[in-house]
Amino acid sequence: MNLRRLRAIVRRVVAEVRRDRPSLALLFIAPIVVTGLLTFILREAETPDVTAVLVASADTPGPVVAAIEGALERGGIKTVQFDEATARVNVAHNPGWVAILLPPNLAGGTITLVTNGLNPSAEGAQIGAVQRVLVGAAVAAAGARAPTIAHETVYGTPSTDPMVPFAPAIVAFFLYFFVYLLTGISFLRERTGGTLERLMATPVTRSEVVTGYAIGFALFATIQVAVVLTWALGAIHVPALGPIPEFAIGLGIPVAGSPLIAFLVVVLLGLGAVSLGIFLSTFARTELQVIQFIPVVLVPQFLLSGVLFPVETLPAVVRPLVAVMPLGYAVDALRQVFIGGADLASGALQGDLFVLALVAVLFAWVASLTIRREVV
Amino acid sequence: MDAAIRAVALVKHFGVVAAVDGLTFDLAPGRIYGLLGPNGSGKTTLIRLLTGMTRPTSGQAEVLGVAMPNRPNLARIGYMTQADGIYPALTAGENVQFFAAAYGIEDMARVREALALVDLADREKTIAATLSGGQRRRLSLACALVHQPEVLFLDEPTVGVDPLLRVQFWAHFRKLADAGTTIVVSSHVMDEADRCDELLFMRAGKVIARGSGATLREQAGTKDLEAAFLHFAGVGAVAA
Ligand SMILES: Nc1ncnc2c1ncn2[C@@H]1O[C@H](COP(=O)(O)OP(=O)(O)OP(=O)(O)O)[C@@H](O)[C@H]1O
Ligand SMILES: [Mg+2]
């Protein structure tokens, strides 16, 4: 690998993309618009059907239980009563259910809400509905020293922001999508425009070409991720000024882990996407065909990587496919960082990073094989 | 003197098509060779074999004493492809600069020199996509020349280039040859052929005649090269 030649390729790739204004705009504006829209839709969503499982401890006074049950029913929430073990089993199997564990003494005690955790977006609304009723009823029953309300989930970590599980998935998906699309198309141009043949008539090696593309696009991917993460995680409050009311820039999605680790994950994912683009450009003859690969290659990944549907709820038949979706590892890793607050010491995160790195290297190798040349 | 370019029983098949059909020849350094033949006669394929862009079905190609394909040897070879092979989004200057860097040259003076040579010095900052067809052809030539190769392959370099500039091109090719560069030019424009030191008439993957324009005309007993080509092609057809 000759560093000067490599640098020349990187510079060229960067210059080409920089001149491509529409693509550049798409790279940044599209994810911002889509995450913004999604956040709005999820946060403002209608309250779903909720079934509350009331679990009274042995010492909770009967009238208190009855008062809370009454309040829940009046609030339109179907309520049943079980012991704690049965309640947990039910919650684990029924995404719409919320278990309410009542303490012996409401005054100063803690009411724990247990949800399934697999579909936090819906649960955010469910919890909200239950919480509103509970607070009123508990204050009525316990007086001034209202109980605190804690939230735990059977799977994952609880959160009340419905956007939390989506933010990492959307960040990963957009990166994957755009890096694939831009590399696929620019490499196709390289193949059909005769520049690749020409480049292969110079002492440049195939690995320099692939690495050059990877670095060039990784630069844009990095900027894209930085912009999108800032937008998604940030919440810059702009105070009211004259007639302009106070407003906030950014979606303010809470993040538990370090955004820097999230960065590492997406960069590895992006490198894999560069190679995927180079690889698939072999099978395309026109730019339209590069786009036609999207339903074949990207949509299955979108569906099977837990972006929208939790991997755990997928039909068993397609479950084995999940293991071969690079995007799935990135989504999983990002959720661990965003929601679970995982750091580099986490074994599960290390596993995901390892797979992503492996995929990047493997695909780069395959991509370099698709650059036809008699000499390496 | 050793041959700059050597083909030994060179054969390239594409399925049933024999694009290059058993060529053996030596080309001496510092001379301009013209590959002449109709469409599909194998000119581009021969050049791709000699530059090592493709591997022969059988036989061997050598450039500067090195068997092709050979990657390091490419630094001593220039190849102007039949398609323009330039990056439309980059400026003329950036295109030449990029190929120069690919050959390991980072000297901007060399880049400007190559641009001046093809009369594009004032277009350094122009985006290649907005250049005219002939200007793009010239830019493509600059990209093949910038590293001052010892052997230069030009696949139909003058297509779309105006007559005045064509004269300049040939004057420059001659200057390079005088300085020791071996040049192989493919063309099917017969009136250019006379500017070459030697011609190789190609037909269906075979060299049907070789010699200077004057010699070939004399052998064929014709006044122009076109008629000479038809003469040799006819002979070839009878022999085949
Ligand atoms: N990659 C390829 N795959 C299949 N056949 C090919 C390929 N390249 C060339 N051929 C065939 O080989 C023959 C010679 O083609 P070549 O491009 O060498 O001709 P040429 O003399 O350069 O023609 P032109 O004057 O049109 O440029 C043609 O019949 C062509 O169809
Ligand atoms: Mg040709």
Instruction: Note if the pTM is more than 0.80.
Output: no
Backbone angles phi, psi at A97, to 5 degrees: -100, 145
Dihedral of CA B145/B147/B150/B151: which sign?
negative
Question: Once rounded to an integer, what is the mean pLDDT over residues B28-56?
Answer: 92
| E strands, chain A, in order | 51-56, 78-81, 97-102, 110-115, 148-153, 236-238, 247-249
Question: Once rounded to an integer, what is the mean pLDDT over residues A99-114?
Answer: 82
Among A76-90, A271-285, A312-326, the least confident range: A312-326
- Cβ atoms of A318 and A296 within 8 Å: the answer is no
Q: Give chain B's length.
A: 240
Residue B10 and residue B35 in one domain: yes
Residue B94 and residue B141 in one domain: yes
Question: Does a structural domain hold residue B34?
Answer: yes
- Site to probe by mutation for ligand 1, drawn from B20, B35, B36, B43 as the one with most ligand atoms within 8 Å of Cβ, is B43
| Closest C-alpha residue for ligand 1 atom 1 | B14
The C-alpha R_g of chain B, in whole angstroms, comes to 18
The pLDDT of residue B24 is above 70: yes
Residue B158 and residue B203 in one domain: yes
Residue B215 and residue B157 in one domain: yes
Partner-chain residue, chosen from A9, A200, A202, that has the shortest CB–CB distance to B103 = A202
Residue B155 and residue B144 in one domain: no
Query: ipTM of the predicted structure?
Result: 0.88
Instruction: Give the integer Cα–Cα distance in Å for B217 and B225.
Output: 6
**Identity of the amino acid at A44:** E
Which domain-ending residue is among B149, B165, B182? Answer: B149
Q: Mean pLDDT score of chain A, rounded to an integer? A: 81
Q: B46 CA to middle of ligand 2, Å?
A: 9
Backbone angles phi, psi at A82, to 5 degrees: -135, 170
Residues sharing a CB contact under 8 Å with residue A223, sequence separation 6 or more, in sequence order:
A28
**For residues A264-285, b (16+ Cβ closer than 10 Å) or e, as one string?**
bbbbbbbbbbbbbbbbbbbebe
Confidence of residue B229 (pLDDT cuts 50, 70, 90): confident
Domain count across chain B: 2
**With contacts defined as CB-CB under 8 Å, which chain A residues touch B103?**
202-203
Highest mean pLDDT among A37-51, A125-139, A231-245, B117-131: B117-131
DSSP alpha helix (H) spans, A193-258:
195-199, 206-233
- Report the SS3 class of residue B29: coil
Using a CB–CB cut-off of 8 Å, the residues of A that contact B are 2, 4-5, 7-9, 11-12, 15-16, 19-20, 193-195, 197-205, 373-376
pLDDT at position B236 is: 47
Yes or no, beta carbons of A197 and B53 under 8 Å apart: yes
Using one digit for the tens of pLDDT, what is the confidence trace for A314-372? 777 877 888 888 888 988 888 888 877 778 888 888 999 999 999 989 988 888 888 87
The CATH number covering residue B34 comes to 3.40.50.300
Ligand nearest to the CA of B19: 1
Domain range for B34 is: 1-64+151-240
Question: Does a structural domain hold residue B142?
Answer: yes
- Cβ atoms of B207 and B201 within 8 Å: the answer is yes
Which domain-ending residue is among B123, B149, B175? Answer: B149
H-helix or E-strand spanning residue A100: strand A97-102
- What the block records as the tokens of A279 is 């690889």
Beta pairing, strands B32-36 & B151-155: unpaired
Q: Nearest chain A residue to B79 by CA: give it.
A: A201
**How many Cα atoms occupy the beta-carbon half-sphere of B84 within 13 Å?**
21
Q: Which domains does chain A have, with CATH numbers?
A: 51-153 (3.40.50), 167-374 (no CATH)
Ligand nearest to the CA of B43: 1
Query: By percentage, how much of chain A surpasses pLDDT 90?
Result: 7
The pLDDT of residue A303 is above 60: yes
pLDDT at position B154 is: 94
Ligand 1 pocket: which residues have CB below 6 Å? Answer: B 14, 17, 19, 37, 39-45, 82, 188
Among A342-346, B42-46, B88-92, B178-182, the least confident range: A342-346
Q: Is the peptide bond before B69 cis (omega within 30 degrees of 0)?
A: yes
Yes or no, beta carbons of B83 and A20 under 8 Å apart: no
First-to-final CA distance of chain A: 11
Residue B160 and residue B196 in one domain: yes
Instruction: Give the integer Cα–Cα distance in Å for B200 and B179.
Output: 22
- Residue B64's nearest CA partner among B108, B23, B29, B94 is B29
Residue B214 and residue B109 in one domain: no
Using one digit for the tens of pLDDT, what is the confidence trace for B66-115? 999 999 999 999 999 988 899 999 999 999 999 999 999 989 999 999 99
- Residue B3's nearest CA partner among B29, B23, B34 is B29
pLDDT at position A120 is: 63
Confidence of residue B226 (pLDDT cuts 50, 70, 90): confident
Q: Longest C-alpha distance within chain A, in Å?
A: 87
Instruction: Give the integer Cα–Cα distance in Å for A182 and A62.
Output: 65
Residue B113 and residue B135 in one domain: yes
Using one digit for the tens of pLDDT, what is the confidence trace for A240-271? 777 777 766 777 777 777 878 888 888 888 88
- Which residue matches tokens 């370019």? B5
Residue B156 and residue B182 in one domain: yes
Q: A188 CA to middle of ligand 1, Å?
A: 21
The pLDDT of residue A176 is above 70: yes
Question: Does a structural domain hold residue B107?
Answer: yes
Residues sharing a CB contact under 8 Å with residue A88, sequence separation 6 or more, in sequence order:
A99, A114, A154
- Site to probe by mutation for ligand 1, drawn from B44, B82, B200 as the one with most ligand atoms within 8 Å of Cβ, is B44
Q: Longest C-alpha distance within chain B, in Å?
A: 55
Residues sharing a CB contact under 8 Å with residue A26, sequence separation 6 or more, in sequence order:
A178
Higher pLDDT: B50 or B240? It is B50
pLDDT at position B50 is: 94
Confidence of residue B62 (pLDDT cuts 50, 70, 90): very high
**Identity of the amino acid at A257:** G
Residue B144 and residue B156 in one domain: no
Q: Environment class of residue A23 by beta-carbon count within 10 Å: exposed (0-12), middle (13-18) or buried (19+)? A: middle
Residue B116 and residue B4 in one domain: no
Residue B160 and residue B142 in one domain: no
